[in-house]
C-alpha cells in the first residue's frame, strides 16, 4: 500500500506493509518514506526501490525462521 505526501500528488511517498499480528489483527507498518521520483541523472534510490529492497530483506529473514528484526548471521570468509 502506498500514499503520496502531501496528498494527493506530493513529491514524497510512504510505502506501507500490511502485517498480521500474532493476535490475528492487521496493521500498517511503514516500509519506506522518501522521494518518489529523483531526476534520472541523480541515480538516487526512490522510495519504491528502498521499499523493494527492505521487503526482500524481511522476506529472506522470515524464510530463515527468524523475526524480521533479527540481523542476518555473518558468514566467515
Tell which residue, 1, 46, 45, 62, has the closest CA to residue 27.
1
Residues 6 or more apart whose Cβ sits within 8 Å of residue 68: 58, 61, 62
Mean pLDDT of 39-61: 89
Write down the pLDDT at residue 38.
92
Write down the pLDDT at residue 75.
47
Q: The C-alpha cell of 73 is what?
A: 548471521
The C-alpha atoms of residue 51 and residue 43 are separated, in whole angstroms, by 16
pLDDT band at 15 (very low <50, low <70, confident <90, very high): very high
Higher pLDDT, 7 or 74: 7
Write down the pLDDT at residue 34.
93
What's the distance, CA 39 to chain centroid? 21
Amino acid at each position: 500500500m502506498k500514499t503520496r505526501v502531501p496528498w494527493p500528488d506530493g513529491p514524497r511517498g510512504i510505502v506501507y506493509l500490511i502485517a498480521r499480528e500474532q493476535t490475528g489483527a492487521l496493521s500498517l507498518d511503514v516500509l519506506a518514506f522518501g522521494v518518489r521520483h529523483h531526476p534520472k541523472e541523480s541515480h538516487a534510490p526512490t522510495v519504491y526501490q528502498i521499499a523493494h529492497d527492505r521487503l526482500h530483506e524481511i522476506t529472506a529473514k522470515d524464510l530463515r525462521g527468524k523475526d524480521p528484526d533479527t540481523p542476518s548471521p555473518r558468514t566467515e570468509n
